Amino acid sequence: MNFVTSSSVLLSHLQRISGVLSTNTKMPILDNFLFSIQGNTLTVSATDLETTMITHLEVQSEKDGKIAIPAKLILEILKSLPDQPCTFRINEENFATEITYDNGKSKMVGYNGNEFPKLPEHNYTSSIGLTGSLLSSAINRTLFAIGNDEMRPVMTGVYCHFSPDDITFVATDAHKLVRYTRKDIDTKSSSAFILPKKPLNLLKLNLKGDESVTLSYNESNATFTFNDMILVCRLVDGKYPTYEAVIPKENPNVLTIDRQQFLSSLKRVAIFSNKTTHQVKLKIVGSELQLSAEDIDFSNEANERITCSYHGEDIEIGFNSRFLIEMLSNIESDNVNLAMSQPSRAGLLTPVETSEPNEDILMLVMPVMLTR
């Protein structure tokens, strides 16, 4: 089993799927890439058993075969090479792998490709076509709001709901919530599932934005096919919380403010907040927003004032500054609305302008009790 390929092209493909590799796997074979040759097509796979990524590239080859090659070694040698043809020669009896390049060669021990976990065959019941830009937007808007509590696994992923009218992505950790909806998509039926965080991060890294993505899914697995790549992941098992119930319907107090100005002020004031609560107080009186934070233990405090547009009763409300900063950083609008009802109820952050008319973004942040 021999083949010739470009060092830089192979490295690019391997780096795109290397994020699947786990650092604490109990199966040594999972520390390898599976190289499979069929005709002149090289298929490289990486998996942690929960998520699998597969990529294809054209090579010069005379014989089909497969071998598992240590991922760390192959990545390091390819990173150190300038772009040039590399010849791989594999001994099919002991799986010794020799890589020959312009000024030398390297040898490493590979493993029997038949020992590599086989990708299970999935009988997918549904599929949908998406654009890379839509999927990227959905992931970028929701990923930061995912929870990390392993006791509540359904909140460690993004909830996806398809209906004939729209597609909705939701993420929450019980302190903040993001709902991202798109109406420029055609789905024939309704369905819902929860995508784990790791494959979402891998998609975020690999989507370019202009590609077509086919999403196929059933009750337990989902497959994303795009460009020359395939990503297969196991879905999070469980029922997602009824998130609509926590979104307050009546929010008569609405603050409209320049997003960047609000964000910059928050970042400065938050430096002086309590390092446990990260509390920042918003006091809105007339057309003025006062931001303040203090850390009594160290006698630190900060206050700033911003001119704003406000409709409603004067209000004082406290928020975790980290959550507000995350949300404002993931909105692209020049101005934002913060809608509130009372200091003990959640605030709703939404963009005023949008470059995508079929897009709807709602971010919810729970208040923190004000310390006097």
pLDDT tens digits, residue range 72-93? Answer: 999 999 999 999 999 999 998 9
* Homologous superfamily of domain range 247-368: DNA Polymerase III, subunit A, domain 2 (3.10.150.10)
Q: How far is CA 295 from the centre of its chain?
A: 33
pLDDT at 371: 61
Checking 218-226 for CB contacts under 8 A at 24+ apart, the result is 218/122, 218/123, 218/124, 218/125, 218/126, 219/125, 219/193, 220/122, 221/120, 221/122, 221/124, 222/193, 222/195, 223/122, 223/124, 224/199, 226/132
The class that CATH gives domain 126-243 is alpha beta
Model confidence, pTM: 0.92
Residue 166's CB: how many other CB atoms inside 10 A?
15
The mean pLDDT of 5-13, rounded to a whole number, is 97
Q: Do domains 2-115 and 247-368 have the same CATH topology?
A: yes
Q: Which CATH topology does 2-115 take? A: DNA Polymerase III; Chain A, domain 2 (3.10.150)
Structure tokens at 359: 């897009």
Contact 161, 130 (CB under 8 A): no
Q: If pLDDT is split at 50, 70 and 90, which confidence band does 362 have?
A: very high
Residue ranges of domains in the chain: 2-115, 126-243, 247-368
CA terminus-to-terminus distance, the chain = 73
Structure tokens at 84: 């040039």
pLDDT tens digits, residue range 239-286? Answer: 999 999 999 999 999 999 999 999 999 999 999 999 999 999 999 999
Contact 101, 84 (CB under 8 A): yes
Closest C-alpha among 328, 315, 312 to residue 282: 315
